[in-house]
A = this chain, B = another copy of it.
């Protein structure tokens, strides 16, 4: 009788960890707790995300020697407490100085420490250092010099690579598989954007198929300043087929038995983690992958997690925001209520004398439905006092938009006064469309300690409102139905957001130029006008609060333009959006109105 040989299985645990940048003691406790969980489940190896111990990204914190010392101390602390289960712990390590692209030596590497049986068995050092978009790892880190390193974990030869290492097609995964690795363990700190989850799964499958090895891809979860790490860890077989997918936007621990890739010659001397044979144990039932959630749901979760973690990890618990009766404030309030609990959010309506009464009613009704605290502070007294104070200065000239900007700044002043007195974090409610074209007042509409929907285009703000209301109708329909009141103005009229948003997205996120946009069917004059507004608005964007990145290119580090920048290819005569007499135009810090809308 023919016996089918039992497949070689390795039991792998993955820890989709929530951590805090710099919290070495707390993160080490979290890691140790998960190591013990994995040992109880008789895992052969447990994989943590990239820089699990230190947090990601570290920016210039890693330049502090005493921080690196403290991280190395904590790695030894974890090693002493390690047991039978090998643990792959993301941290930093000191390496011999390397100089690769400028005149400075770097001597710290992004690393995975491998600990087992009370010992530190060694480090793998990340070889490829992303240095684009939100990443600047080449600034402070040295690349590793041993991309083919593999590890003997009992009977298994395993490879360990880190995040970017996987994506070159001819990098560490390929070298380690060629050196004998039958499984690849991949810690990551991969921040969310709308195109990431699908792209990640495709790449992980390709790495597995190319190398004939299963891949265990473990991602971080939680918000860190502008980034949200969305988890969604993946395990794929050597054929590239999905074996498991963890949930997005939640901490999770998982363990499964993974069939190893085919046996192959071992061509380098592996580092030994341990040499025990695989224990006899019953195989685990295959876990069920988490369902994929829709793109809009992912954005919603990213906003909630990003807002929650920015407030909480900075020592806060509560937030305050202005409720205008518009859709932006409504979505921001709904996000804040879900992130912090309705009881921890205060909404403040700050109507001006010319505000529509329906907007105040809508703001009140929104607060009632969300269950958040609600106050009304009319601003007329304050703006009148300011105008009295300005006195003769007020008479000199009358710039359009100044009165509106004063209202916005008065609201910001009131919001901050409440925040100061109550300890609530003030949230700004501006969206990406406004920020793109500069239709927001510096220290006015965009004033706040955090701006949850800063990277959300207006059309997506509407979809998020509908998504939230599908669960239960917290946003009064009148807010959704109200047409954004585009203000008529001597200088500018704007296209609808349905036209504006795709132009801005293609210009900023895909780098498409005028001619490409026109070839897609957009009106040349409209495109020119919009691109000009986008270029002109960098001045204002620079001082806006951080917000949650959800698109492929968010304003900020991700898309870093000079403030002072005379590159204005779109100032052309056919740009209908700007009248010829508009030159030289208002200074870039001014508050000429472009578009006003109900939020």
User: Which residues of A are in contact with B by a Cβ distance under 8 Å?
Assistant: 20-24, 26, 55, 57-61, 63-67, 70, 99-104, 128-132, 135-140, 143, 164, 167-168, 171, 223-225, 309-310, 313-316, 375, 377-379, 381-382, 384-386, 388-394, 396-399, 401-402, 405-406, 409-410, 412-414, 416-423, 425-426, 441-444, 447, 449, 511, 513-514, 539, 542-546, 559-569, 584-591
By the criterion CB–CB under 8 Å, are B59 and A561 in contact? yes
Give which listed residue, B70, B130, B388, B399, contacts A423 with CB less than 8 A. Answer: B399
List 5 A–B pairs whose Cβ atoms lie within 8 Å, in order of A's numbering.
Answer: A101-B131, A314-B589, A316-B589, A409-B417, A423-B587
Task: Report the Cα distance A137→B101, complex, angstroms.
Answer: 10
The complex places the Cα of A319 from the Cα of B274 at a distance, in Å, of 69
CB distance from A149 to the nearest CB of B (A): 19
A490 to chain B minimum Cβ distance, whole angstroms, is: 16
Which of B102, B223, B421, B514 meets A164, CB within 8 Å? B102
Contacts of A539 in B (CB 8 A): 314, 449
Task: Determine which of B23, B128, B566 lies in contact with A102 in the assembled complex, contact meaning CB atoms within 8 Å.
Answer: B128
A441 contact set on B, CB distance < 8 A: 416
Extra contacts, 14 of them, besides A104-B131, A402-B417 (Cβ < 8 A), are A22-B568, A61-B561, A102-B164, A103-B164, A225-B564, A315-B584, A377-B389, A377-B390, A382-B385, A386-B413, A405-B417, A406-B413, A412-B413, A546-B563
Complex CA distance for A545 and B139, rounded to whole angstroms: 24
Bound form: Cα–Cα A449–B102 in Å = 34
- Complex contact A390–B418 (CB within 8 A): yes
| B385-A384 in contact (CB<8A) | yes
Alpha-carbon distance A561/B139, docked complex (angstroms): 13
What's the least CB distance linking A340 to chain B, in Å? 13
Residues of chain B within 8 A (CB-CB) of A137 are 102
Query: Nearest Cβ in chain B — how far from A9, in angstroms?
Result: 32
Whether the pair A443, B384 counts as a contact (CB closer than 8 A) is no
User: If the complex has contacts A22-B567, A23-B567, A315-B585, are A377 and B406 also in contact, measured as CB distance less than 8 A?
Assistant: no
Nearest neighbor of A23 in chain B, beta-carbon distance: B566
B residues in contact with A414, CB < 8 Å: 386, 389-390
Known: A315-B588, A381-B388. A422 touches B410 (CB 8 A): no
Q: Is the CB of B129 within 8 A of A104?
A: no
Q: Which of B58, B128, B444 contacts A562 (CB 8 A)?
A: B58
Contacts of A422 in B (CB 8 A): 393, 396-397, 399
Determine how close the nearest CB of chain B comes to the CB of A189; give it in whole angstroms.
13
Residues of B within 8 A of A389 (CB): 377-379, 381-382, 414
Q: How far is the CA of A106 from the CA of B540 in the complex (A)?
A: 29
Known: A396-B421, A420-B591. A101 touches B102 (CB 8 A): no
Q: Are A63 and B511 in contact (CB under 8 A)?
A: yes
Do A567 and B406 have beta carbons less than 8 Å apart?
Answer: no
Q: Report the Cα distance A556→B406, complex, angstroms.
A: 28
CA distance A414 to B414 in the complex (A): 14
CB distance from A461 to the nearest CB of B (A): 23
Chain B residues, CB < 8 A from A426: 589
In the complex the two chains form, what is the Cα distance from A378 to B388 in whole Å? Answer: 10
Contact A564 B66 (CB under 8 A): no
Report how far A591 CA is from B424 CA in the complex, Å.
Answer: 12
